[in-house]
Structure 1
């Protein structure tokens, strides 16, 4: 799987033009789940432009309540007619908007109840990494976000490991380092929580300065099942190259 997180970029018409440019670049690609996650206002136009194609749509966030007095928020039930996936717990939301493992967990349950597939993000900061706390921090985030999730539900959840120090900095974790976190930290927790069969089948994406230049080496590793791509997903040729690297 390769998911493109457009973040807070592109107007409605720019989003339309971007997806129109991406479509021919990935035409005929099979064997890779391709997801694009535009801003809320562009979900509709992106959905229309991709109908009949292999590209699926995701949202970048959602609220855990079904409706109510939550000005400026979007409920899962509002998204389900527009997209199949939703990013939950991105580090930018944790850092800027105070999201916690508890709120991430509530969003995961709300997404699953509505029929959306969560892409749940976890990852350590630079100071945590330098202090040798990566394993403890990431394990805690995985466990915290998946409280009371059943093995059946877990089959519809994707985990994205995004070391915070690598997001938007141009610094990517080494393929070996990223794979080690996936294989030795995240995968064992998933196996413990949901059993070996489900835990081994769940997809773990890597995110954090994924580019056309490093994607193939990252995706060649045993437990890296694709990428959550930021800046490179705004460039049709780069995004297509990353998608093709996942074949």
Structure 2
């Protein structure tokens, strides 16, 4: 099974107001995206799971639009949420004191069965909060390690909250430019391995208790390569890191884990990524990066098709 995830970030705000939604009515726009996805057969690719992660305001209109189609037409197409709070609503305990936060129970009630957790933007937010109370967190390696451990601990609580509620999780992790360091790829490998291994050890703690009933996938984000003007990693680097992730998780936790490329699955790299044996899918943000920048459902279909064509080539190589 391959996993294609789409993170629709701030598509709940129109472009004229600073967001990226091309419509003044984001709710209507997401309904159109869901309808087009079904009609284009995006959920009907063999052995491909497709999940849209949408802002909280768009969850219900997206779910309602999907619900207008019978299950056989929806296929493996579903809607998930953008992270959950680290604590949850529980019967006989905390029933609702979660103002501004999205508990897993609320997301589940809205029909979400997947959540993206630990995205680099979420990690940066938590890091900034810690930095506000500990201004010296970046002064030395020891302080940075303590901050990273604290962030990973919070992320882990979110993962466990989602899985306990009955949700599957895409757990994102990756290394920054500073953590990767300079030099050749061989010189960088030990540093990257150490950073990711620490993130796995802390982020996946307790996850095995929910397997195999629930599912967790790793979204590998090379944070140093994300953004305008950045050079993305090549096939050799992605192959090394994704293989290393699987090996470390197997050795530390004793289970197999799917790894998807979280640095941006797009039309330009889809075939290449599909040909890497240790990559099990990808994370899409936008589908067009020039001209009318944004997300277009017909482009997503092309991306999935190219990814699968690379996958077939890899199988016959």
Q: Output the TM-score relative to the length of structure 1.
A: 0.90
1:14 Cα deviation after fit:
1.8
Measure, in 2, the Cα distance between the counterparts of 1:75 and 1:150: 22
1:17 Cα deviation after fit:
2.0
State the SS of the aligned residue for 1:231: coil
Measure, in 2, the Cα distance between the counterparts of 1:203 and 1:21: 28
CA contact (8 A) 2:219 2:260 kept: yes
1:29 Cα deviation after fit:
2.0
Whether 2:211 is the aligned partner of 1:153: answer yes
Report the equivalent of 1:183: 243
1:182 Cα deviation after fit:
0.9
Report the equivalent of 1:73: 101
Whether 2:52 is the aligned partner of 1:36: answer yes
1:134-177 CA distances to partner (integer Å, 9 max, x unpaired)?
22111111111011222652661111101112334364221221
State the SS of the aligned residue for 2:48: coil
Please say which structure displays the higher CA radius of gyration.
Answer: 2
What aligned pairs does 1:8-27 form with structure 2 within 5 A after superposition?
8-9=10-11, 10=21, 11-27=26-42
Provide the alpha-carbon RMSD of the alignment: 2.0
Match of 2:115 among 79, 86, 97: 86
CA contact (8 A) 1:84 1:117 kept: yes
CA contact (8 A) 2:83 2:116 kept: yes
Match of 1:220 among 272, 275, 279: 275
1:9-65 CA distances to partner (integer Å, 9 max, x unpaired)?
142122222222333233542221111111111111111222320211111111011
* Greater displacement, 91-100 / 53-62: 91-100
Q: Unaligned stretches of 5+ in structure 1?
A: none
Measure, in 1, the Cα distance between the counterparts of 2:247 and 2:197: 9
* Greater displacement, 232-241 / 100-109: 232-241
Report the equivalent of 1:57: 79
CA contact (8 A) 2:171 2:219 kept: yes
CA contact (8 A) 2:261 2:281 kept: yes
CA contact (8 A) 1:118 1:157 kept: yes
Whether 2:262 is the aligned partner of 1:229: answer no
Report the count of equivalent residues: 242
CA contact (8 A) 1:39 1:60 kept: yes
What aligned pairs does 1:83-162 form with structure 2 within 5 A after superposition?
83-98=112-127, 100-131=151-182, 132=188, 133-150=191-208, 152-153=210-211, 156-162=215-221
* Greater displacement, 5-14 / 128-137: 128-137
